[in-house]
Amino acid sequence: MQTVTVTEKAAKQLKHLMTKDGKEDYGLRVAVKGGGCSGLSYVLGFEKEPKEGEREVTEQYGMKVFVDLKSAVFIAGTILDFSDGLNGKGFTFENPRAKTTCGCGNSFAA
């Protein structure tokens, strides 16, 4: 089972952002850090290469995805999607390990 599944819509938006930033050959790092309304916050970033000891490196829709061991514990089974509907625009996280989430959807408690 992949730690994080990136939807096709999210991958398309991420590739657009990477191209805009001149980082076409980079991958996506998905991580968590302490903070936010609910205790933990999601972190997305573009990285050239995986770090040593990376928990998982996958390729989804032609894009590399990196997840470190510490973050994998909190986000296993998460789906990263992109919404551009009436309720707002941005990346969304569907995390089965989250016990509570904040109103903005960018932080959670596990």
pLDDT at 103 over 60: no
Tokens 């894009």 identify what position?
63
| Predicted TM-score of the model (pTM) | 0.85
Residue 95: exposure state from Cβ atoms within 10 A (0-12, 13-18, ≥19): buried
For the residues 82-104, what does the mean pLDDT come to? 78
Query: Tell me: the pLDDT tens digits for 28-71?
Result: 999 998 876 667 888 999 999 988 877 778 999 999 999 998 89
What are the phi and psi torsion angles at 69 (to 5°)? -60, -45
The superfamily CATH assigns to domain 4-109 is HesB-like domain (2.60.300.12)
Q: Where are the domains of the chain?
A: 4-109
Nearest partner of 74 among 105, 95, 88, 104, judged by Cα = 95
Span 14-31, pLDDT tens digits: 999 999 999 999 999 999
